[in-house]
Each structure stands twice: as C-alpha cells, then as structure tokens.
Chains A and B, each alone.
Chain A
Amino acid sequence: MESNHQRQQGQPKDPSLQGVFNARTRPNVSKPSPEMLRRRRPRSGQMFPQGQAGAPIHLTGLFAMGRRANGAPPGRRMMFELAVAHLRTMFRKDHMKINTRGFLFALLMGSAGCSTHRNAHIAPAADVDMDGKVLARFQHEIEEYIELHRDLVKRIPNVGPNATAEEIAAHRDKMTKGIQAERKGARQGDVFKPSVEAAIRRIIAREISSPEGQQMIQELKQGNPKVEGVPNQADPTSARSERVLVAVNALYNTEAPSSSMPPSLLLKLPQLPDQVRYQFVGRDLILRDTEANVILDFIKDAITDRSVPR
C-alpha cells in the first residue's frame, strides 16, 4: 500500500514554490485522512520531510529565511533571490534528487542572503494588506526605536539566560527608566503614524468581521486587563482587577495580565522584532516593549466590538 509519505510527494508542488506562511500565513488546516491519522509520523530517515502546502520542508525553511531577507540590503537580497531562482531551475529540471551540489549552492546563497540579516527588525508577513509606503514608514519607525533600544542595551547589558531574580528585576527597572528618559516627549502617533494607524484599523476591522472574528474576540479578551484580573494571594479562588494606564511612555502595570494575540490576527499585522509586541488593553491596541515594560504607542479603540470593555 502506498504510504502517506509517498502520496504527499506525489502531490503537485505549489508552482510558485510558496512556503507555509508565504501562501496563506497560516498552516494548512485541511483535516488529515484516516490513513494519515493512523500513521501520523513522517517516515524515519526521510531526507526532506514534507512541509505545508506540498512544499518540502527545506523550502519552507528557505521561505522563512526569505521573510528575513525582505528589507535586507540589496546585495544580500540579491543572493537570496539567486538561491530561489536556482531552486526553481532545479525543480524544472527535476534534478532535486541527484543534484546535491546544486542544492548546497542554493542553500548557501539563501543563508548568505539572510543569515547576516539578524538585525532585520521587522519583516512584513506575506498577507499584510498594507500599502508598501505605509509599511515602509512603519518599519522605519520601528527600526529607529530598536536602534534606541540597542543603544540602551549597550549601557545596560542584557542579563543572559542564566539570570537570578534580582538581576532580571534590576535590569528591567534600568531599562524602564532608560527608555522613558530617552523617549521623553514622545507622543501618540509617533510610531503609529496616521496612515499606519488607518491601515492597522482596517486590518483589524476586516479580521474581526470575518466569520471567525468572534473566535478572535474571545481570545483577545483572555488576559485583557479590562476583562481578567489577578488571583489573590490570600484567597487564590478569587481575583482582583489591575488597572493599566494606556499612555505613551507609561509603564505597563507589572501586576496586570497581558492579552492573548489571536494568531490569525497576528499573522495579518506587520511582524515585529522580539523586543516589542502588539497587545490589547480593553479595545486599545498597544505597542509594548516587553523588556523595558513600557508602552511605546497605542491606537485608541482599535476594536469596535462592544463585547470588549473600554
């Protein structure tokens, strides 16, 4: 009997060689066949386990690198594009199984195109429906902020992965004070410029009004400080609410929980560097530096759904 692995390989490959997040920005949600459920595992020793949408996993990885290469300096981007072009040729010629040297070349070029681009602070998700100029402006603002953040880290070194509680707390306090001092005078709209804000509002409205919008609403309520409290120490079967002041340069209340970001929505927004993230406080979308615990900017009433408290 034909194995599941063989069947997957026999499927036509995506002609545009799109990887899992390139095509739909989310994994394939098709249900597995009963046969697949029985097996459910890639065959041991499989050289190129299948990625989503029929693309081999090494291509998925390459396209993940591709997202990193977006916005890279032209030279590096060119190397990445060269790698993709080379792989396309290999597929056309069906050399994939035998041309190890060619594959290694493509991999090397692809890696070179993005590996030195670890400083790419913001990579647009493929599905981000945002005008190129608007997105570029947002990228620019974020990169400027990250530059500031990095300058601060030079003076306040990171604690590393084996830190004590004291070191973490001391580092966070210094970062908070440092960012607040550096951004003194920052105002709403400095990062979320009006055009960026309009685009983000449009994306959120579209996603929330989709058939799966209510699922997203339910998830972003979870941990949302306007909805959820913090269990009490004296009686952890009860909870108290913690207020979060939504203001530029305000400390995010360390006692308060953080809202979940529904993956479906997150994948439609411009991707952010690790230091900052989107969150909701009530209906407001905030941009928060998690290391410094400071609110960088916010969009008031980004969600209009009335079931989410203001």
Chain B
Amino acid sequence: METRLGRLALFVVIAASLARLPTAAAQDLKLPNKGAIRFAVIGDMGTASRAQREVGQQMSLFRLKFPFTFVITVGDNILGSESAADFKAKFEQPYADLLKAGVKFYASLGNHDNPEQRNYAPFSMGGVRYYTFRPIAAGDDKALATGVRFFSLDSNYLDAEQLVWLEKELSSSDSDWKIAFFHHPLYSSGRTHGSSLDLRKTLEPLFLRYGVDVVFSGHDHYYERVKPQQGITYFVSGSAGSLRKGDYGRPQPFSATGFDRDFAFMLVEIDGPKLYYQAVSRTGQSVDSGVIESAPVK
C-alpha cells in the first residue's frame, strides 16, 4: 500500500514538473515572421526566480521560430541587491542562451535599478541614463534599419535636462516608427500603481507633437494593452519575472486587454508601415496579438 502511494506521489510530482517546463511544441507564434525588425520586450524581470528563468527559456524557444535580434527592457532589470553575483543570477543566467546567440539587450532603468547599471556592458546603455538607438535589421549586421528609432528614458528622474534632450532627439528624428520605452506607465489599469499621471502630463505632449507611435512600459506586474490614446498605443509589459495576480482586476476604460494570471513577455515585428505584437505567457501561450499601423509620414 505504501509503495503504491509512494509511486503515485512520485508520478504526481513528475507530471506537475513536466507541465511547468516550457516545451518546443507549446510555442504559438501569431506574428507573420517576415519583417526586418524583430525584437522582444521584457520588464520587471530581475528576481532570479524560477519564473524568470522559465520566461527566459520560453524566449529562447520562441527565438527558434521567430529569430528576434534584440530585446528591450522596461526597467527593474535587477530587483533587490545588486552584487556581481546578482547580475549573474538575475540577468546573465536567465538569458544565457540569448546572450550566447548574440541577442543584444537595450535596457531602461526602473525604480529598483541603481543608475550605475548604465555602465553594465550587456545593457547597451553607453554609460547614460537615457539614450536613443536605431536597431540593426535581421540578417544584415551592417545596414542600419533607418525607419525605426527607439528612445529609452529614465522615468524615475525626468529632469529638465532629460526633457530638453528628448525634445531635441524626437524633433530631429524622421524615422517612420518612433518607439519610446521606460519604466512607469502613462496608462495602466494596475491596482497597485496605475497610470503615472504627472509623468503623462509631462511626456504625452512631446510624444504627440513629435509623432511617437508606440510606448512600452512596465512597473505594474502584468501585461496590458491600452487602446490607442490620441494615436499612440501603450503597452505595459511588467511580468517577465514578477507578477501581481489580480492586479488587472478593474480595467480602466482606456484598456484594450490585459493578462495577470501568469508571467509574460512580448514579441514585436515591424514590417514597413505595420507593427505586429504578441504577448506570450510563461507556458508559451499567446495571450494577445494584433497589428498597429504607423501614421503616414508626409
């Protein structure tokens, strides 16, 4: 009798473990997979938790189908202590496969990040708190993709100097796609934090004036897509290593959809005037997908 019970318990444990492991068969890609610019979005991930590692594995598995070349982070890259061992456990190990494959990470700073992360080579910040870059097109490591420009901001400390810089960079960019990413969401239904209204009051006019198309943020530990606000689509992608279940319990009227039942990350593809997005859970299931069309440049 005891042996039978022991076997049954062993079977339950093994089955439960297998159910949690990401498998190659689980990936449910909804993107056309033909655009020149392919990237992933993660946020609030640096916990060194099992969930973070599983999200990292899932990203690697998806990359076999969808070869994204870089990842943007929307902050809280390293939560808690920031010793050398922490950088390894909270970043280098969970994304070891991606780093080994040459996938580049472009970080922005969250409220758990020490600003000195700007000097950490794998974060590609060039020693500054805020920066802009144009991504390298897939399959061509020399030619720059001219139509897309990213703006990484430090939303923890949006001082006058950063705002002057942002206006200068936005106004001088003639890219078809202007994509901003930073930690605090301008629109969020999160019960814990929600929308950063003071930040919105400061940044949104600049985004509107200079034609920002898409904004990625984190901070609230779930996934949310916001209905276009005056032409700009906002995403909250803050559950790649932390999660607040039930935080999307009361969606605001501006919300299009959300997912707070499991950890998640995003995959994005830009093909000319179209930006395709997909939010993927830790188990590889698609929780949201769609397409955004860029406003035509005249």
Contacts and interface: CB of A to CB of B under 8 A. Distances in A.
Interface stretch (A49-57, A73-81, A100-108, A142-150): A49-57
A230 B295 contact: no
A125 B160 contact: yes
Contact of A263 (B158, B242, B244): B158
B244 A237 contact: yes
Nearest to A278: B157
Contacts of A36: 208-209
B22 interface: no
Given A60-B164, A160-B127, A264 B198 contact: yes
Nearest to A165: B87
A266 to B, nearest CB: 6
B201 interface: yes
Given A44-B174, A60-B167, A271-B160, A27 B126 contact: no
Given A223-B111, A261-B157, A271-B160, A234 B49 contact: yes
B84 A161 contact: no
Interface in B114-130: 114-121, 125-129
Interface residues of B, number: 72
A272 to B, nearest CB: 8
B273 to A, nearest CB: 13
Given A67-B160, A165-B88, A51 B120 contact: no
Given A37-B208, A168-B116, A222-B219, A231 B202 contact: no
A282 interface: no
A20 B197 contact: no
A178 interface: no
Contacts of A236: 47, 49, 51-52, 241-243
B159 interface: yes
**Secondary structure class of chain A's binding surface, majority of residues:** loop
Contacts of B297: 41, 44
B118 A161 contact: yes
Interface stretch (A130-138, A180-188, A195-203, A252-260): A252-260
Given A32-B208, A49-B172, A261 B116 contact: no
Interface string A143-178: 000000000000000111111111111111000000
Contacts of A98: none
A33 to B, nearest CB: 11
Nearest to B92: A165
Contacts, number: 223
- Looking at B157, B193, B219, the one whose CB has the most chain A CB atoms below 10 A away is B157
A57 B168 contact: yes
Contacts of B125: 161
A166 B83 CA distance: 8
B295 to A, nearest CB: 6
B205 interface: yes
B231 interface: yes
B4 interface: no
B155 A260 contact: yes
Contacts of A293: 114
Interface in A11-52: 20-21, 25-32, 36-45, 49-52
A42 B120 CA distance: 35
Nearest to A171: B116
Contacts of B92: 165
Nearest to A63: B164
Interface of B: 44, 47-49, 51-52, 79-84, 86-88, 92, 111-112, 114-121, 125-129, 155-161, 163-164, 167-168, 171-172, 174, 184, 193-194, 196-199, 201-202, 205-206, 208-211, 219, 221, 230-231, 241-245, 295, 297-298
Given A41-B295, A161-B121, A218-B198, 7 more contacts: A40-B231, A159-B119, A161-B127, A164-B120, A212-B198, A219-B196, A222-B111
List 10 tightest A-B contacts by C-beta distance, closest first: A161-B127, A223-B111, A165-B87, A41-B211, A64-B164, A262-B198, A231-B242, A40-B211, A263-B202, A162-B121
